Structure 1
Amino acid sequence: MELLECTLAIDDLDEFVADLGAIGDRHGVTVQAFDARYVADRAHLERAVELADRAISRGENVARDRAVEILLYAAGRRQIDRALEMGVDESETEAVVLVDKDSTGNEGVRGDGNADEATALEAVADLAAVVATEPTLEEPDEETLHSFFEITDAERAATDASLSALVRERVALLEVEK
């Protein structure tokens, strides 16, 4: 899995999503963009990919598209419309774009997955919507994460777990709630 931390300026969301899909198809990878405010850290997205792939391999996935299934797990929600809040929109947004080879055994992955991820990441970085590549995950938006993942002050006070660990717990709980 590769991540591009960046600022996006999206004028046409449908066109941007189509561009990401075309890059994914061309390089045999999955590409998904997230509003960085909703991502705790890299481990959050790694866990979402792992659980989405497990659901797909078991035939338990909700979405037909792997990128959407990853979004559902990252958001800790089964409803696509609620998970989309975590995605990007037509505006200037600090974002993180995930590029990952398909490890579920599905067809469409060509050659060396790592090379395809790196090449796809370069193609994403070259999109006109990417106005800057800069760290976006260094300082998580704790207020947004608390609200979106429904993490209460009482929960935080009852544990010494990090905010990232609590978010990953919400992602994992999606498996239980199915």
Structure 2
Amino acid sequence: MRLLDGTTTVDDLDAFLATLDDVAEATGTTVQAFDADYVVSAAHLARALDRADRAIARGENVARERAVEVLCYAAGRRQINRALEMGVAEGANRVVALVDSPAGDESAEAEAVELLRDHVEEAAVLGEYDEATVRAFFDVSDAELDAVDGGLADLVLERVALLDVEK
């Protein structure tokens, strides 16, 4: 798995998503773009990828496409429409793009990242999430946050892991 974080301006969402699909198809990788305000860490996306692959292997996936299944796990939701909130939107975006080769082909992942650099201006935005946005999206209360040893990022990782239990 490789991550590319930075900024982009999306004039036409359908065209941007088609570009991601084109990169994925050309390189044999899975490509998914996330709004960086919702992504608490690289571990957040790594866990989502792991859980999505496990669901697909078991035939328990809700999405037909691996990239969408990863998005659902990252969002901690089985409803695709709700998970899409975590994706990019038209306008200026701080973005984290996940690239993964199901076959473990690191050169294909590197090629995909290079192709994405034409559309994402690299900047260190990963981990610079919006706490209020994350708390609202993942429904984290003050009481829950006060009751755990870890912080908000740990609770989000827990939400990703617990999605399997909620099925």
Normalised to the residue count of structure 1, the TM-score between the two structures is: 0.91
What does residue 105 of structure 1 align with?
none
Residue 167 of structure 1 pairs with residue 159 of structure 2: no
What does residue 156 of structure 1 align with?
145
Answer yes or no: is the 8 Å Cα contact 2:36–2:128 preserved in 1.
no
Structure 1 Cα separation of the partners of residues 127 and 139 of structure 2: 21
Q: Which runs of 5+ in 1 are unaligned?
A: 103-108
Amino acid at match of 2:76: G
SS at match of 2:126: coil
Residue 10 of structure 1 pairs with residue 6 of structure 2: no
| 1:114 aligned residue (95, 106, 112) | 106
CA RMSD of aligned residues (A): 1.0
Once the two structures are superposed, residues 9-63 of structure 1 have per-residue CA deviations (whole angstroms, 9 ceiling, x without a partner) of 0011111111111110111100000000010110000000000000000111000
Displaced runs of 4 or more, over 4 A: none
Structure 2 Cα separation of the partners of residues 168 and 159 of structure 1: 13
What does residue 60 of structure 2 align with?
60
Matches within 5 A, 1:1-178: 1-102=1-102, 109=103, 113-127=105-119, 130=120, 132-178=121-167
Structure 1 Cα separation of the partners of residues 95 and 5 of structure 2: 6
Give the 3 Å change call, closer, same or farther, for CA 39–138 of structure 1 in structure 2. Answer: closer
Q: Which runs of 5+ in 2 are unaligned?
A: none
Amino acid at match of 1:97: A
Structure 2 Cα separation of the partners of residues 152 and 139 of structure 1: 20
Structure 1 Cα separation of the partners of residues 125 and 112 of structure 2: 20
Normalised to the residue count of structure 2, the TM-score between the two structures is: 0.97
Once the two structures are superposed, residues 83-103 of structure 1 have per-residue CA deviations (whole angstroms, 9 ceiling, x without a partner) of 00000011101110010111x
SS at match of 1:7: strand
Once the two structures are superposed, residues 104-135 of structure 1 have per-residue CA deviations (whole angstroms, 9 ceiling, x without a partner) of xxxxx5xx6101001100001113xx2x2101
Amino acid at match of 2:162: L
